[in-house]
Structure 1
Amino acid sequence: MAITLSAGVRSAVSSLSSVQSQATAIQNRLATGKKVNSAIDSPVNYFTAASLNERSSQLTGLLDGISNGIQTIQAASKGIDGITKLVSSLQSTIKQAQADAAQNRPTKAGTALANASEVALTAKSLKDIALDKKIVDATGGTAATADGATATSSGDLGIAAGAFGNRLAISVKAGSTTYTASFDGANTTVRDVVNEINKSGIATAFVDEKGQLNVKGSGSDDVEFGIGNAAPASAAAADITAANAAAVTAAGTGGSNTAIGFLAADATAVGAIKGQAITSAVRSNLIQQFNDLRTQIDELAKDSGYNGVNLLQGDKVSIQFNEKTGKNQSKLDIQGSTLSADNLGINQATNTTLTGFVNFQNDTDLDNATKSLTGALTSLKSISSSLGANLSVAQTRQDFTKDLSNVLSQGADNLVAADGNQEAANLLALQTRQQLSQTALSLSNQSDQAILRLF
């Protein structure tokens, strides 16, 4: 059965229902924090916000992959830093070997060229007497007869004039390098010979305080020295021919080398006085140190991986920067390189000359090792620079992805989020209207109840 309400009551009930409906909607917005909770509220805003949130979620998911890529690059970069320090230590080891080599050059010392009685006659030191002695027999005799010092002369060593008169020649050989020179021996002194040897660049000579002539190599190779008579290449030439150089070396077996203080027993098979290369215990001990450091380069490179990927062992890492696929996908591919001591050109050390090894007893090998280590550092710097550039790109894209994800989320919120302050004010206003509507309904009911008084 239908109930008939007065117009006033019906209006009050309708108003109260409308207020309650609006209040319920506002309460829902305050509870969810959104003004658009479904497509019914606003289709455009709802679906646009959903799309923005979906992309933001996808980008956020990529951040883990970007982070792993960054850590992989950083692990390789730390490996490069460690290997660089090891190479620097190898350089230090080579420098120690070179320093020891400089103090232990092949040297041959002859017997004394002056004696105490000559010191008494000349009032000069043994060294000065020896330096001032002439080479050729001053009397011009054919026999190798030395003349002692007098009060006015330091004497001579007594090398006899040969078939070429007083023409003298010297030959200095170190390794495969030979230096030869000739000069008029009539007035040539030991000092002249010393100066000529010092011009060679492959050996040095000096007379010590004992009056002994010393020939010292400039490198680690055996040093051979000979002096004797020889013909010049031409009448005006200062140098001698290769053939005559050999003759000088051979002449060293006889009286020539003996006259300047080197004994026949000191001669080698080819007749040259020889300063033997020295096998240094210091450099031998450095070999193990060098090889241990070299091994650690390989070990450190193997340990420079992250999460199973090692850019120093030839692995590849791919970092994806956006949510797209195919040609629209944005990513960074980093191809690693296999890093080892061999690949850096760092050979093992040994005590002998072997192909592919560093002979710590040889100056040339040590110099080559220094160049190789310098080249290795250059290669490491290049790899480090490349990793640094890729790391910068990855970190920049990581920051960009975070910011873009935030922008997308904020944009979605702007479309569907409710203004809490505004909604709270609206709810308070509706509550006031609700109270007023309830009062109006009460008044309308009282008007209807007035009919009862007639009975």
Structure 2
Amino acid sequence: MANTILTSGVRANLLTLQQTTAEQGIIQNRLATGKRVNSAIDNPVNYFTSLGLNDRANELKGLLDGISNGIQTITAASQGIDSITKLVQSLQSTIKQAQADAAANRPNRIGTSDVLADAGEVTATNGKSRKDIALDKRISNAGAPADATATSVGHLINATTTPATALTISAGSTTYTVDLGANATVRDLVNEINKSGIATATIDDSGRLNVTGAGSDTLRVGIGAGADATAARTNASSATNQNATFGLLVADGNSAGAGITSTGGNSTVRSNLIKQFNDLRDQIDKLAQDAGYNGKNLLNGDKLSIIFNEKTGTNQSKLDIQGETLSAANLGVLTAVSGTALTGQFNIQDDTSLNTVADTLTSALSSLRSISSTLGSNLSVVQTRQDFTKNLVNTLTTGADNLVLADSNEEGAKLLALNTRQQLSQTALSLASQADQGVLRLFG
């Protein structure tokens, strides 16, 4: 069979048509995939660079889930701190209610009238008030006790045989003892009692010495006299002390000489507040235990690690957050009881204990604010890294697309031009073929 021979014109037009068809296929593939670089054959540099950028973007997208979980974990802990803060503030309110009912609960001693100052002394001092007469009167001096006059402040104890005087006050496990000076006055005695922190003393308008315990523990007050300081202190702690000289009585009206003890009663209001206080305290522990997210609880001592980049080893960027084991006990909040307090408890009937608990609650609020501040700082860091990672993912994706994506407008225009070229090539091929046929007809 003879080979078909194409003329040079037909062959040239056919080759052009083949090239145009091949280019159309390439452009149609670009339009179909949206990419101008679909494989390493198209452009190896752009292809592999884009692949690397997309791989990193995908790794960072995976880390965004962990960052998001970290934010929720911190937020849950922060919300727990806010709620615990409100509970502590409620505990403070409960303590304030208990403190407001303090007056009827304090042990006290009330002096009898006409002991430190009487009507005769008012006349003798030209109308000086009983209160001032009592405050200015010396505790001891040589000679028998003497009333105040216009020229003398008077004194209460004969210093000839017992020149030394002392004061002893105790409540609970606290004792305050002080030696009174040779020229000490009742005013000095009052100041020393107030300085003790165990009790407060005043002289009323009738010239009576009143001593009230600062707390609800059994109050013991003794004023003693002796040959020396040691003897005076011993006398102050005995039933033969000098309390009667100062007119001190215990709360029930018994003479001070018969016993130096004065006790307070329990406040019903405070007793009723025990359950309220302890219920609030228990909620601190329960709330802290419920402040977790996705198995992590920063208020239960858990450690949270949030990874920010795709690297490993020393090049890895992450934030480690060590949680706090938060509980009422760790905040120093004791359990309320009425009466003798054991370890971990406080006596709600005792004013001193209430003051201590109030200070503890104030310190607890400071600790909570500190923890909240730390969580807030960490949350700010994680949120900043989250925004940065999102923007970086967009940057990487955009950069990768710029290397391989096709311009649909440009490719569409190219395809239209190729279609036109194809039509022209087909027309040229037809004309070339017709020319060849015309030559053959000359031999027909």
Q: TM-score, normalised by structure 1?
A: 0.78
The residue aligned with 1:11 is: 12
Q: Does the alignment pair 1:217 with 2:213?
A: yes
Q: Distance in 2 between matches of 1:51 and 1:229?
A: 96
| Structure 1 residue 303: Cα displacement | 0.5
3-state SS in 2 of match to 1:112: coil
Aligned ranges for residues 52-451 of structure 1 at < 5 Å?
Answer: 52-101=53-102, 104-113=105-114, 127=130, 131=134, 161=158, 164=161, 169=165, 171-175=167-171, 176-181=175-180, 183=182, 192-200=185-193, 201-202=195-196, 203-209=199-205, 212-227=208-223, 230-231=226-227, 233=228, 241-248=229-236, 250=238, 257-258=243-244, 260-262=246-248, 266-267=254-255, 271-272=259-260, 274-325=261-312, 328-352=315-339, 353-450=341-438
Q: Distance in 2 between matches of 1:211 and 1:135?
A: 14
3-state SS in 2 of match to 1:266: coil
| Structure 1 residue 369: Cα displacement | 2.6
Q: Distance in 2 between matches of 1:136 and 1:78?
A: 62
| Structure 1 residue 35: Cα displacement | 0.9
The residue aligned with 1:50 is: 51
Which segment is superposed worse, 419-428 or 120-129?
Answer: 120-129
| Structure 1 residue 137: Cα displacement | 12
**AA aligned opposite 2:189:** E
Q: Distance in 2 between matches of 1:424 and 1:76?
A: 56
Closer, same or farther: CA 23–338 of 1 in aligned 2, 3 Å: same
Q: Distance in 1 between matches of 2:249 and 2:53?
A: 98
* Unpaired segments ≥5 residues, structure 1: 234-240
Question: Contact between 1:227 and 1:252, CA under 8 Å: does it hold in 2?
Answer: no
Q: TM-score, normalised by structure 2?
A: 0.79
Post-superposition Cα deviations, 1:315-346, rounded to whole Å, max 9, x if no partner, equal: 33333333344555444443433221122222
| Structure 1 residue 299: Cα displacement | 0.6
Q: Distance in 1 between matches of 2:317 and 2:206?
A: 81
Closer, same or farther: CA 259–329 of 1 in aligned 2, 3 Å: closer
| Structure 1 residue 374: Cα displacement | 4.0
Post-superposition Cα deviations, 1:262-287, rounded to whole Å, max 9, x if no partner, equal: 46962468743x44334333333333
The residue aligned with 1:238 is: none
| Structure 1 residue 64: Cα displacement | 1.2
**AA aligned opposite 1:178:** T
Post-superposition Cα deviations, 1:323-378, rounded to whole Å, max 9, x if no partner, equal: 34455544444343322112222221222232321222334433433443344344
Which segment is superposed worse, 116-125 or 215-224?
Answer: 116-125
| Structure 1 residue 306: Cα displacement | 0.5
Q: Distance in 2 between matches of 1:406 and 1:177?
A: 74
Q: Percent identity?
A: 53
Closer, same or farther: CA 218–369 of 1 in aligned 2, 3 Å: closer
3-state SS in 1 of match to 2:102: helix
Question: Contact between 1:170 and 1:225, CA under 8 Å: does it hold in 2?
Answer: no
Closer, same or farther: CA 86–242 of 1 in aligned 2, 3 Å: farther
Name the count of aligned residue pairs: 431
Q: Distance in 2 between matches of 1:85 and 1:210?
A: 48
Question: Contact between 1:30 and 1:423, CA under 8 Å: does it hold in 2?
Answer: yes
* Unpaired segments ≥5 residues, structure 2: none
Closer, same or farther: CA 229–62 of 1 in aligned 2, 3 Å: closer
Closer, same or farther: CA 282–378 of 1 in aligned 2, 3 Å: same
3-state SS in 2 of match to 1:391: helix
Closer, same or farther: CA 134–413 of 1 in aligned 2, 3 Å: closer
Post-superposition Cα deviations, 1:114-158, rounded to whole Å, max 9, x if no partner, equal: 8998799789699559748978999x77xx9x98x99x999989x
3-state SS in 1 of match to 2:353: helix
Question: Contact between 2:107 and 2:219, CA under 8 Å: does it hold in 1?
Answer: yes
**AA aligned opposite 1:10:** R
C-alpha RMSD over aligned residues:
4.1
| Structure 1 residue 291: Cα displacement | 1.5
Q: Distance in 1 between matches of 2:138 and 2:48?
A: 110
Question: Contact between 2:131 and 2:204, CA under 8 Å: does it hold in 1?
Answer: no
Closer, same or farther: CA 386–205 of 1 in aligned 2, 3 Å: closer
Question: Contact between 1:215 and 1:275, CA under 8 Å: does it hold in 2?
Answer: no
